[in-house]
Structure 1
């Protein structure tokens, strides 16, 4: 991707683009670039496949619905527009200065500072789960898990996913006991939380935002990564700060080792 590839509509929105740089780590669903203008920086995300195009559109719709929650202190970036250009989609949004929490924790050697970051991570998720769910994200005609299982089936049939037919059959048959739904992020991983000077400054990639099962967020939050959640101590710090529910091993396996493999 270079500046000449940027849709004219985006250039008209941001004005002069003096430089374009790329984050050191890219996700697998989109190409992400930082646009540098005389006044500020923007993020532009580009997708090029039917599945990822759909997710990008859902992400834009979620940002639109979630803007009201910024007033409650949730660090959600502003999305300006989405553009369709042939078989690609482009999302324009605010740039947030920071690194992923995963990168921060992978390098952090001071136990106190590491635990402080995990506490902030957990409290951020608690705040999301306690926030009112915007009406636009409440699809009352279909249960959240029913909808996710239908999407899992569709994704398995039409796209390359980590899940298998046997795994899908298992999670369709062995479902966790229902609990009260809340606003959920839908992909609350260490990669989707940004920190600056050890403080959380942004939560990104909201394409899975919904009125859904909060255990899904919790399961993804505590997935083991390098120097993070590789031991029981990190999980205990997280749960103490989150203070709402603790997953059983069966619940963790269902959401993280099961459902998440189709997304």
Structure 2
């Protein structure tokens, strides 16, 4: 099937599933791991997320829909999962900005957004992991250690950071539903702050510190001055988290979480490069991300004290 025929074919299939005509199916820019299509049906603005050719993930859409429903039930701002379709997921389209630099440039109240992000995570981390069928149980410190050993075990900075993490790993750890990629770029923001959290495909049962530190990784600040996403302070973020979850996070635990997130992203850069170099997904973007590992190693050296 040629590219021009693809939207028409998808429109017909979507209309059959949704029980209403599909109008204006158009592929949007953005979406590093999935294709994003916008359309209208029965008077609603909707989004179709589909896996790229050759990377279909089976029941991933149904799983993501179940996570979204559990998160929304807990009060997390997130789009409604409208329908699971072959190879994809239909969501309501949230109005607002998602491009990080545009969010930062247009933001009028960074402290408010930081607190809202903390509240969203706090609510998510109260969800019972057993309520979501098929939720994987992951320890990213263990899993990314194995990935590093496989891809490039001779990187002194990453070895030093891993040793630091192991030596200072918090003793009293809990497992919650975690988003897995909670950061600027996966938020919809408008003049009132956080409209919704996107991209739930990496959700799992894991250490909540993974989410808490990830938003503060320097790479996800997009040159903004705030430690939290480039826009906010740690105090506002953790205050929102505490208010929504009833759980306090110590300074030492948060510092550990930021090192963990930065180390994970460094290994993730190597992983992205491997996807390109192995031929699994040939992409100049993936290759460029792989070259950024040295930047992240520099960030790690500044964090290790």
User: Shorter-chain TM-score: what band?
Assistant: 0.7 to 0.9
Distance 1:251 1:150, change over 3 A: closer
Matching residue of 1:229: 226
- Residue of 18, 25, 31 corresponding to 1:20: 25
- State whether residues 152 and 259 of structure 1, in contact with CA within 8 Å, keep that contact through their aligned partners in structure 2: no
C-alpha deviation, 1:43, in angstroms: 0.8
Distance 1:107 1:259, change over 3 A: closer
C-alpha deviation, 1:9, in angstroms: 3.1
1:200 to 2:182 alignment: no
Equivalences for 1:37-116 in 2 at 5 Å? 37-48=41-52, 52-54=55-57, 57-76=59-78, 77-83=80-86, 89-100=87-98, 102-103=100-101, 105-108=103-106, 110=108, 113-116=109-112
| Larger Rg, first or second structure (1 or 2) | 2
1:145 to 2:139 alignment: yes
Q: Which runs of 5+ in 2 are unaligned?
A: 243-247, 272-305
Q: Which runs of 5+ in 1 are unaligned?
A: 84-88, 158-162
Distance 1:80 1:199, change over 3 A: same
- State whether residues 106 and 226 of structure 1, in contact with CA within 8 Å, keep that contact through their aligned partners in structure 2: no
Distance 1:74 1:40, change over 3 A: same
Q: Which moved more, 1:28-37 or 1:232-241?
A: 232-241
1:36 to 2:40 alignment: yes
- State whether residues 19 and 37 of structure 1, in contact with CA within 8 Å, keep that contact through their aligned partners in structure 2: no
C-alpha distance after superposition, 1:40-67 (max 9, x if no partner)? 12211222255x533x843530322442
C-alpha distance after superposition, 1:181-206 (max 9, x if no partner)? 11211111111121233232222211
How far apart, in 1, do the equivalents of 2:266 and 2:89 lie?
24
C-alpha deviation, 1:70, in angstroms: 2.4
C-alpha distance after superposition, 1:1-29 (max 9, x if no partner)? 65224174323123322213444x50211
Count of aligned pairs between the two proteins: 244
C-alpha deviation, 1:145, in angstroms: 0.8
Distance 1:177 1:65, change over 3 A: same
- State whether residues 79 and 93 of structure 1, in contact with CA within 8 Å, keep that contact through their aligned partners in structure 2: yes
Matching residue of 1:241: 240
- State whether residues 81 and 91 of structure 1, in contact with CA within 8 Å, keep that contact through their aligned partners in structure 2: yes
* TM, length-normalised to structure 1: 0.75
* TM, length-normalised to structure 2: 0.66
Matching residue of 2:258: 252
Task: Flag the structure with more relative contact order, 1 or 2, with Cα contacts below 8 A and sequence separation at least 6.
Answer: 1
How far apart, in 1, do the equivalents of 2:138 and 2:14 lie?
34
